[in-house]
Amino acid sequence: MLASVTVIGNMGKDVEVRNTSAGARVASFSLAVSRYEKGGKKTMWVNVVCWDEKKIDLLQSYTSKGSKLYVRGDLSIREYNAKDGSTKTATEVVIGKFGGELGLLDRKSESDTGPAKTSQDSGDDIPF
């Protein structure tokens, strides 16, 4: 069976990375996913969990609160015991170690692109 989810949204806060008792790293963050309906703009918060080391490094290096991301992963619904003893349900999009996708959708600002190249900078002209 397949329960794949694709979302595009903005990070609600910086990514949180922690180590499990087995020594693996796991990252978690939430995305604000907005859509427009007849009554106006509706925002839904989607929790994302990432187990892929390379994607975790990417998240730590290039994202922060407000970053726009594309995420594709497996839908996970799990139950856990809260501190007060009650049973809670968590719905998450999970990017596994060998599956799922993560894309950075923010545009680079002019300060990130470096100096503009001039015709003198390119010594190798490639004819097309």
pLDDT in tens, 38-69: 889 999 999 999 999 999 999 999 999 999 99
Evaluate whether 50 touches 32 at the Cβ level (below 8 Å).
no
- Which of 96, 103, 105 lies closest to 4 in space, CA to CA? 96
Q: Is 14's pLDDT higher than 60?
A: yes
Higher pLDDT, 74 or 127: 74
For residue 70, the tally of other CB atoms under 10 A from its CB is 14
Q: Supply the pTM of this predicted model.
A: 0.77
What local confidence, expressed as pLDDT, does residue 115 receive?
36
What local confidence, expressed as pLDDT, does residue 24 receive?
93
Rounded to whole angstroms, how far apart are CA atoms 93 and 4?
8
What local confidence, expressed as pLDDT, does residue 63 receive?
96
What local confidence, expressed as pLDDT, does residue 2 receive?
75
pLDDT in tens, 64-121: 999 999 999 999 999 999 999 999 999 999 999 988 999 999 876 544 544 333 333 3
23: left (phi over 0), alpha (psi -120 to 50) or beta: left
Q: Is 18's pLDDT higher than 60?
A: yes
Bridge partners (DSSP) listed for residue 36: 41
Evaluate whether 5 touches 38 at the Cβ level (below 8 Å).
no
What local confidence, expressed as pLDDT, does residue 11 receive?
97
Higher pLDDT, 124 or 87: 87
CB burial string 77-92: b at 16+ within 10 A, e below = eeeeeeeeeeeeeeeb
- Alpha helices in the chain, H assignment, sequence order: 53-62
